[in-house]
Amino acid sequence: MAATIVAGVGASLVLSAAPASATGIPHVQGGQTVPVYSYENAVRESVWVQTRLDNDRDGVPDKVAVDITRPREAADRRIKVPVILEASPYYSCCGRGNESELKQYDANGVITKQPLFYDNFFVPRGYAFVAADLAGTNRSTGCMDVGGREEVLSAKAVVDWLNGRATATYADGTPAVATRWTNGRTGMIGKSWDGSVANGVAATGVEGLETIVPISAISSWYDYQRYNGVLRAEDYPEYLHQVVNGRPAGVCAATVEQLDSGSDDVTGNYNAYWAERDFRPDARKVHASVFIAHGINDTNVTTTQFAQWWQRLDVPKKIWLAQQGHVDPFDIRRAEWVDTLHRWFDRWLQGLRNGIDREPAATIETAPGTWVDERTWPASAAKTTKVALGDGDGMTGTLGGGSTAGSRTWTDAPDLSEAAAVASPGTAVPGRVSFLSAPLTRPVRISGTPTVTLRVQVDKPTTELTARLVDYGTATRVNYLGRGEGITTLATESCWGASTTADDACYRDTAEAVVTSDHAVVTRGWQDAAHHVSLRFVTPLQPGRWYSVTVPMQATDQRIAAGHVLGLILQASDNEYSTPQSTGATIRLDLRGSSLSLPLAGKLPVPGATAPVVTTSSPAPARVAPPRFQPLLP
The reply to whether 564 belongs to the active site is no
Alpha-carbon distance of 450 to 470, in angstroms, equals 12
Percent of the chain with pLDDT over 90: 91
Q: Which of 10-19, 260-269, 590-599 has the lowest average pLDDT? A: 10-19
* Domain end residue (candidates: 351, 374, 397): 374
CB 189 within 8 A of CB 86: yes
pTM: 0.94
pLDDT in tens, 562-603: 999 999 999 999 999 999 888 999 999 999 999 999 999 999
Alpha-carbon distance of 363 to 341, in angstroms, equals 13
Q: Report if residue 486 sits inside a domain.
A: no
DSSP 529: G
> Which whole number is the average pLDDT over 310-338?
98
pLDDT in tens, 151-167: 999 999 999 999 999 99
Note whether 139 and 79 are same-domain residues.
Answer: yes
- Banded model confidence at residue 21, pLDDT cuts 50, 70, 90: low
Beta-carbon neighbour count of residue 16 at 10 Å?
Answer: 10
Between helix 236-244 and helix 253-263 the angle, nearest 10°, is 150
pLDDT in tens, 465-495: 999 999 999 999 999 999 999 999 999 999 9
Note whether 424 and 339 are same-domain residues.
Answer: no
Note whether 417 and 305 are same-domain residues.
Answer: no
Note whether 423 and 471 are same-domain residues.
Answer: yes
Q: Does the pLDDT value for residue 17 go beyond 70?
A: no
Q: What's residue 246's pLDDT?
A: 95
From the candidates 27, 294, 326, 531, which is the catalytic residue? 326
From the candidates 160, 298, 503, 528, which is the catalytic residue? 298
Q: What's residue 403's pLDDT?
A: 84
Q: Does the pLDDT value for residue 26 go beyond 70?
A: yes
Q: What is the CATH number of the domain that holds 106?
A: 3.40.50.1820
Q: Report if residue 319 sits inside a domain.
A: yes
> Which whole number is the average pLDDT over 211-225?
98
CB 323 within 8 A of CB 515: no
Going by C-alpha positions, the residue among 155, 282, 288 that lies closest to residue 211 is 288
Alpha-carbon distance of 193 to 215, in angstroms, equals 9
The rounded radius of gyration (Å) of the Cα atoms in the chain is: 26
Q: What's residue 619's pLDDT?
A: 57
Q: Does the pLDDT value for residue 359 go beyond 70?
A: yes
3-state secondary structure 132-179: EECCCCCCCCCCCCCCCHHHHHHHHHHHHHHCCCCCEECCCCCECCHH
Q: Report if residue 601 sits inside a domain.
A: yes
Q: What's residue 75's pLDDT?
A: 96
Q: Report if residue 505 sits inside a domain.
A: no
Higher pLDDT among residues 537 and 630, named by residue = 537
Q: What's residue 623's pLDDT?
A: 57
Burial 280-307 (b: 16+ CB within 10 A, else e): beebeebebbbbbbbbbbbbbbbbbbbb
Q: Provide the mean pLDDT of the chain.
A: 93
pLDDT in tens, 510-566: 999 999 999 999 999 999 999 999 999 999 999 989 999 999 999 999 999 999 999
Alpha-carbon distance of 191 to 200, in angstroms, equals 13
> Which whole number is the average pLDDT over 71-83?
97
* Domain end residue (candidates: 313, 348, 374): 374
Q: What's residue 630's pLDDT?
A: 53
Q: What's residue 633's pLDDT?
A: 52
Note whether 270 and 351 are same-domain residues.
Answer: yes
Long-range contacts of 614-617 (CB under 8 A, 24+ apart): 614/424, 614/425, 614/426, 614/436, 614/472, 614/565, 614/567, 615/424, 615/426, 616/422, 616/423, 616/424, 616/472, 616/518, 616/519, 617/518
Alpha-carbon distance of 312 to 309, in angstroms, equals 5
Note whether 474 and 348 are same-domain residues.
Answer: no
Note whether 311 and 355 are same-domain residues.
Answer: yes
Note whether 578 and 433 are same-domain residues.
Answer: yes
Note whether 391 and 365 are same-domain residues.
Answer: no
Helices (H), 203-298: 221-225, 236-244, 253-263, 272-276
Q: What's residue 2's pLDDT?
A: 33
Chain centroid to Cα 425, Å, comes to 31
What residues contact residue 30 under an 8 Å CB cut-off, 6+ apart? none
pLDDT in tens, 410-447: 999 999 999 999 999 999 999 999 999 999 999 999 99
pLDDT in tens, 112-122: 999 999 999 99
Q: What's residue 5's pLDDT?
A: 31
Q: Does the pLDDT value for residue 188 go beyond 90?
A: yes
Q: What's residue 467's pLDDT?
A: 98
Note whether 369 and 407 are same-domain residues.
Answer: no
* Domain end residue (candidates: 315, 346, 374): 374
> Which whole number is the average pLDDT over 83-90?
98
Alpha-carbon distance of 281 to 275, in angstroms, equals 9
The reply to whether 192 belongs to the active site is yes
Q: Report if residue 499 sits inside a domain.
A: no
Chain centroid to Cα 623, Å, comes to 18
Q: What's residue 20's pLDDT?
A: 45
CB 543 within 8 A of CB 573: no
Q: How many structural domains are present in the chain?
A: 2
Percent of the chain with pLDDT over 70: 94
Q: Report if residue 500 sits inside a domain.
A: no
Q: Report if residue 312 sits inside a domain.
A: yes
Q: Does the pLDDT value for residue 317 go beyond 70?
A: yes
* DSSP H or E segment with residue 419: helix 418-422
Q: Does the pLDDT value for residue 8 go beyond 80?
A: no
- Banded model confidence at residue 24, pLDDT cuts 50, 70, 90: confident
Note whether 346 and 418 are same-domain residues.
Answer: no
User: 607 to each of 465, 469, 563, how far by Cα in Å?
Assistant: 26, 17, 13
Q: Report if residue 494 sits inside a domain.
A: no
Note whether 349 and 429 are same-domain residues.
Answer: no
Alpha-carbon distance of 229 to 480, in angstroms, equals 26
Q: Does the pLDDT value for residue 14 go beyond 80?
A: no
Q: What is the CATH number of the domain that holds 433?
A: 2.60.120.260
Q: Does the pLDDT value for residue 407 go beyond 60?
A: yes
Its domain, for residue 25, covers 2-374
From the candidates 46, 140, 154, 192, which is the catalytic residue? 192
Q: What's residue 401's pLDDT?
A: 87
> Which whole number is the average pLDDT over 138-162?
97
